[in-house]
A = this chain, B = another copy of it.
Amino acid sequence: MNDIVLLQAAFSAEDITGNRHAIAEAYGKAAAAGAEIVAAPLQAVCGFKPGRRLQSPAFVKAYCEAAEALIAATTQTVLVFEVPLVMQDGGYTPLFVAARNGKAERAAGRLTFQYGDGRKALVCAANEAHGYAEAETLKPDLLILADCHALVEDKEAERDKRLQRAAAAVETTVYVNQAGCLDYHILSGGSTRFDAYGKQRATCPLFTACLTAPQAGFTPDYTDRTALIHEALVCGIRDYGQRSGISSAIVGLSGGIDSTVVLPLAVEAFGPDNVFGLMMPSRFSTDHSVNDAVQLAKNTGVSYEIIAIEPLYTTFLQQLAPVFKDTPFGLAEENLQARIRGNLLMAASNKKGGIVLNTSNKSESACGYGTLYGDLCGGLSVIGDLYKSQVYALARHFNREREIVPLNCIEKAPSAELRPNQKDSDSLPDYDLIERILRGHLERHLTATELTAQGLPEADVTKVLRLLRNSAYKRLQTPPVLRLTDTVLSEYRPF
């Protein structure tokens, strides 16, 4: 069962040397244990994801040298990996390598090689239709499908069908994927060995490194998206922290649904002793906001402080008098409160060393409903790729066994509490409507006219698309977002 070892791990483009060592070490162990083949996922040597780095000759040189070093150290166990072959026009093609006894065979796009006593293997990228077609005619004994697939809404079931179809043509098929959080993508793992009936015979865990042969008995469930997202986000926070040398977090707790969901995610990633909650009520905060936040802190076991922003707000208004003069209360005063909170969170971070986790969601971020350097501050946006409805789903998911998220946080109407009796619904359409408009526009590329033709209210469609367009500048300066979809807002550009 250990004849084929899969190197499921996160390989970073920021650490080619680390990638080489990780591959060499796992290969050495597998070879010593008598493995016939050791297969690495896509972009294991150069790291995920190379992007613009491929234009740097020093980067290309570094991963090519790493590849040569790996090849030179091979024994009779075959090591299979991929490196990008950079073309004249700046694009690239995967170059597959199969190495043994210090020598390598190489081919761009897909590679066929002999192993054992005259058996044939074919290796290609998991999303490479030509490779699949070739498998059907070539009928190799072993098909290796290499991938670096990040969790993307509703793409996993489709991919599994494709893999199973390919596997049905071949005696043994292995799918090898990266796992962990790199460059804000959450690589899903789940490397799998299929038998000749296209059945999953053994699967590695999701999101977690697994540098051995996959073990039988685990079949991932890609249909419970909330549970998947939960696992993915915890992986995202933990791995991002690990790579940045950070092992603790600070979360501003408003008692609203967003921070209420981010806190338990942080607790799972770093442990309750390494998460600090900061409540920063203002003259406009309601009592239940602080109470709900305190209850959450108690439910999750984190330490917390309550710092009133009133003295700071008053002093700012005094000092700003020559600029504000006798103008009425407005946006400047609202943003001021949010930015005082941002400053307190960052000060706590600088003093204690934890990362400030941003708590904005995709629905409000799309509408520009947030203050730059205020509630939009932080080192990492945890739920910035989740619509409001998904944030609620996650809150209910946390309460599946016992109440972690106070029910009041789930039940009350969302409010920024920056002026008296403020509600999100004062300035925004209903969140369900926002989500339908955004999904239609971002996922299905529908225009305002097309969205309206589908029955969505014209005034709301116009408003949401206008807000989306006009708030693009804010998203250029907000923390990087853990990606769960192909429509992450940091990549949205208005037209």
List A residues 28-77 near B (Cβ within 8 Å). 47, 51-53, 56-59, 62
B343 and A336 contact, CB distance less than 8 A: yes
Q: Are B331 and A373 in contact (CB under 8 A)?
A: no
Given contacts A52-B491, A447-B58, contact A343 B343 (CB under 8 A): yes
Q: Does A285 contact B (CB under 8 A)?
A: no
A335 contacts the other chain (CB 8 A): yes
Minimum Cβ distance to chain B for residue A14 (Å): 5
A490 to chain B, nearest CB (A): 9
**Which has the most chain B C-beta neighbours within 10 Å: A311, A379, A476?**
A476
Q: Does A445 contact B (CB under 8 A)?
A: yes
Given known contacts A322-B307, A373-B342, A477-B477, A350 and B379 CB-to-CB distance under 8 angstroms: no
From B318, B344, B446, contact of A319 by CB (8 A): B344
Q: How many subunits of this chain does the assembly comprise?
A: 2
Q: Is A220 an interface position by the 8 A CB rule? A: no
Pair B373/A346 contact, Cβ less than 8 Å = yes
* A260 to B: closest C-beta gap in Å: 21
Q: Kindly state the separation between the CA atoms of A10 and B375 in the bound complex, as whole angstroms.
A: 35
* A305 and B323 contacting across the interface, CB-CB below 8 Å: yes
**Does A264 have its Cβ within 8 Å of any Cβ on chain B?**
no
Instruction: Determine how close the nearest CB of chain B comes to the CB of A92; give it in whole angstroms.
Output: 12
In the complex, A57→B16 CA distance in Å?
37
Interface centre among A278, A309, A327, A494 (most CB of B within 10 A): A494
B332 near A320: Cβ-Cβ < 8 Å: no
Complex CA distance for A495 and B16, rounded to whole angstroms: 7
Question: Smallest CB–CB gap between A494 and chain B, Å?
Answer: 5
Interchain CA distance A493-B340 in the complex, whole Å: 31
In the complex, chain B residues whose CB is within 8 Å of the CB of A16? 495
CA distance A14 to B473 in the complex (A): 13
Q: Which residue of B lies closest to A478 (CB)?
A: B477
Q: A477: which of B47, B327, B446, B479 is its contact (CB, 8 Å)?
A: B479
- Size of the A side of the interface (Cβ < 8 Å), in residues, is 66
Contact of A59 among B344, B477, B495 (CB under 8 A): B495
- Bound-state CA distance A335–B227 (Å) is 39
Q: Is the CB of A335 within 8 A of B312?
A: no
Residues of B within 8 A of A91 (CB): 89, 91
Q: With an 8 A cutoff between CB atoms, is A94 at the interface? A: no
Bound form: Cα–Cα A478–B377 in Å: 11
A315:B311 contact, CB within 8 angstroms? yes
- Contact of B13 with A316 in the complex, beta carbons under 8 Å: no
Contact, CB under 8 Å: B312 / A308: no
Please give, as numbers and ranges, the residues of chain B lying within 8 Å of A479 by CB-CB distance. Answer: 476-477
Determine whether A104 belongs to the interface, using a CB cutoff of 8 Å to chain B. no
The one of B15, B56, B327, B346 in contact with A351, judged by C-beta atoms closer than 8 angstroms, is B327
Kindly provide the distance from the CB of A311 to the nearest chain B CB, expressed in whole angstroms. 5
Q: Which of A476-490 contact B (CB under 8 A)?
A: 476-480
Q: Nearest 7 A-B pairs (CB), nearest first?
A: A332-B350, A373-B373, A332-B351, A339-B343, A315-B315, A58-B445, A323-B348
Known contacts A89-B91, A476-B480, then 19 further A-B pairs from the complex at CB < 8 Å, ordered by chain A residue: A14-B494, A14-B495, A53-B495, A58-B446, A58-B447, A62-B495, A305-B322, A305-B323, A308-B319, A311-B315, A312-B312, A312-B316, A316-B343, A335-B346, A339-B346, A340-B343, A346-B373, A476-B479, A477-B477
Q: List 26 A-B contacts (CB under 8 A).
A: A14-B493, A52-B491, A53-B495, A58-B446, A58-B447, A91-B91, A244-B473, A305-B322, A307-B322, A308-B319, A311-B315, A311-B319, A319-B344, A320-B351, A323-B347, A323-B348, A324-B351, A331-B350, A335-B346, A339-B342, A339-B343, A339-B373, A340-B343, A342-B373, A346-B373, A476-B479
List residues of A whose CB falls within 8 A of some B CB: 13-16, 47, 51-53, 56-59, 62, 89, 91, 244, 278, 305, 307-309, 311-312, 315-316, 318-320, 322-324, 327, 330-332, 335-336, 339-340, 342-344, 346-348, 350-352, 372-373, 377, 379, 445-447, 469, 473, 476-480, 491, 493-495
